[in-house]
A = this chain, B = another copy of it.
């Protein structure tokens, strides 16, 4: 990393001044580092007089987890910056605009979205996002279709796949999602109260076989440029706006992994709604909103994806084969469901958790919510290859919650 150094707040302000479209030359700027400090520096530069702002994100050459520092290539900043540019071009309203990428300094300068709320927090506060299913299905359809062999030059796609080889961050996914939760591992992290569930996972042969099939898909299927980490912590939202951020896990993988991430995190929040008392009418309402959003994410995605295929399909073989589009979408739903289930399970017994469940203060309720999340997740995994309709996922969630 010749020349690389972590920026100070003063350096971040100096860099911000080089964007005259945002800040006037004599602007009084203030800077706050708002990253979690584990992976990246995130400088939020604002001009209090005008309310204008910029985000400067810089990758750190290590990741702090598990009490220690691991080296992690700052090349992920190049991947994130390039993925943001591609995704912004394909879904301009749904991805922050990038103003500058500096690969040597591992810096991305982008649009300030600090008026938005992290979707996970919004869902935990039971905010209703009427636009979300529509927006995220547009993001998914646009970014997955137009980076795949269906929607772009198949020669350029190979070069793009080559540029987005993302060894280290894929390994994190391979380990944390498709391996460790299903065996004894020091990084696994679950409460004693559900140790029986963790042990049952390790002994569930049918489940292990489905996980092996999903791991294989993750390792081998270069279908489209994925976001790669599309949970509700990677989405900024307002009731009237959705912005997808942080694609540092981007790589060419199976489309269902991104769609499944969205559905998994909606259902994790659904499980976390145990937190509210069962006779609270709005618990029922909010769960209905969540399931409606699961349904809408898939049905709107698949409708938009089919329309893009019909209108912009690049490959006559794929466009002219009778029934091929139906087979493709059926298989994609099955992948989506399998990946959604795997992403739910790992958030309960694996290394990295979600606040939707972990922040529930009452021990018994939290345990119930986690068992519910596991129950839904396992059922999605078990049934994934026989899915024919998203309604089966709705039924699984309703049935599990009614127990």
Contact = CB atoms under 8 A, between A and B. Distances in A.
Interface of A: 149, 154-155, 158-159, 161-162, 165, 167-168, 170-171, 174, 178-179, 182-183, 205-206, 208-209, 211-213, 215-216, 219-223, 315-318, 320-324, 327-328
A312 to B, nearest CB: 17
Contacts of A171: 154-155
A165 to B, nearest CB: 5
A165 B154 contact: no
Given A183-B316, A223-B220, A317-B179, A209 B323 contact: yes
Chain A contact residues: helix, strand, loop or mixed = helix
B317 A209 contact: no
7 contacts: A179-B316, A209-B327, A211-B321, A213-B327, A220-B222, A221-B221, A221-B222
B165 A321 contact: no
Contacts of A182: 317
A322 B209 contact: yes
Contact of A220 (B155, B165, B221, B321): B221
Contacts of A327: 209, 213
Contacts of A159: 165, 167
Given A213-B324, A215-B317, 6 more contacts: A149-B216, A154-B174, A178-B317, A205-B323, A206-B322, A220-B221
A205 B321 CA distance: 6
A151 to B, nearest CB: 12
Nearest to A204: B322
Contacts of A209: 321-324, 327
A159 to B, nearest CB: 7
A295 to B, nearest CB: 27
Contact of A317 (B211, B318, B321, B328): B211
Given A170-B158, A209-B327, A324-B209, A215 B318 contact: yes
A52 to B, nearest CB: 41
Given A161-B165, A167-B159, A322 B220 contact: no
